[in-house]
Amino acid sequence: MTLTEQEILRYSRHIILPEVGGRGQQRIKSASVLVAGVGAAGSAAALYLAAAGVGRLTLWDPAPLAEADLARAIAHDRAHLGLSRAASARGKVTAINPDADVLASAEPDALPGLVNGHQVVLATAGDWEAVQAAALRTGAAAVFAGVRGAAGAVFAHRPGEPCLGCVPPEAREAAGLQPEEGGGCAVAAAAGVVGIAAATEALKLILGIGAPLTGRLWAYDGWAAGSREVPVTRRADCALCGRA
């Protein structure tokens, strides 16, 4: 997929990077990413993926936008209170990248089916096990990001590597690698850090560069201003990928 003159100018600071270049930016433009959940961390992830030039974004989130969301979910504003968060976020995502094809889905049961046709799924909400299972079936890469208070975690999966089901439950709980649920508490800036880290993982998977967070869980602690990594190995008895 070729870049227009305007896109070459817009993404020039990407293109001059040796890891990206013109071909890499074309790959980003050709990419399709499903963002499951556009709350605290998902908002930041969606906006940065749009700003990076991802050509097709699907935003899934059936939750209605509430006043409490505005303190941590930067893809929204008061004008859209009561709309689904997917529909609300679509406006700001489109404003950042008007050339992108941005779809919004607020159907609660649609998430697993939406994975099909996307290169990467970035999940911060919803049924993560169903998302991972769908990614295993379709060959999509997956990034999972969770925030709890000022802490959060990111984990990535590519076909053939340890999946979400291989992460020990106690490690997920300790790191805060859990889907966002109604009433969940998150420090806005910490959610931004985690969401941006997840978006970076998605871009690495699209470009095939760097060292994605596959086979390791990245845990962030905003209060301590530190992070750690937890190794994850593939489990033969994993309920999701054990037979894949």
pLDDT tens profile 37-87? 999 999 999 999 999 999 999 999 999 999 999 999 999 999 999 999 999
Average pLDDT over residues 216-233: 97
Q: Is the pLDDT of residue 182 over 80?
A: no
Asked whether residue 159 is assigned to any structural domain, the reply reads yes
Q: What is the pLDDT of residue 243?
A: 64
Mapped to the 3 state alphabet, what secondary structure does 54-77 carry? CCEEEEECCCECCHHHHHCCCCCC
Asked whether residue 20 is assigned to any structural domain, the reply reads no
Asked whether residue 4 is assigned to any structural domain, the reply reads no
Per the listing, tokens 């989130």 go with: 61
pLDDT tens profile 227-242? 999 999 999 999 999 8
Asked whether residue 7 is assigned to any structural domain, the reply reads no
Q: What is the pLDDT of residue 68?
A: 93
Q: How far apart are CA 199 and CA 123, in angstroms?
A: 10
Per-residue burial over 10-43, b = 16 or more CB atoms within 10 Å of its CB, e = otherwise: bbeebbeeeebeeebbbbbbebbbbbbbbbbbbb
Asked whether residue 212 is assigned to any structural domain, the reply reads yes
Helix (H, G, I), strand (E, B) or coil at 98: coil
Side-chain-side CA neighbours of 223 within 13 Å: the count stands at: 7
CA distances (Å), 66 to each of 72, 77, 192, 226, in order? 11, 10, 19, 31
Work out the angle between the directed axes of helices 40-52 and 188-207 (0-180°, nearest 10): 40
How many domains is the chain partitioned into structurally? 1
- Residue 40 domain boundaries: 31-231
Residue closest to 241 by CA, chosen among 206, 220, 217, 215: 215
Q: What CATH number corresponds to the domain at position 110?
A: 3.40.50.720
Asked whether residue 162 is assigned to any structural domain, the reply reads yes
Asked whether residue 5 is assigned to any structural domain, the reply reads no
Non-local CB neighbours of 190 within 8 Å, separated by 6+ positions: 147, 149, 150, 151, 152, 220, 222
Asked whether residue 239 is assigned to any structural domain, the reply reads no
C-beta of residue 65 within 8 angstroms of C-beta of residue 82: yes
Share of the chain above pLDDT 90, in %: 95
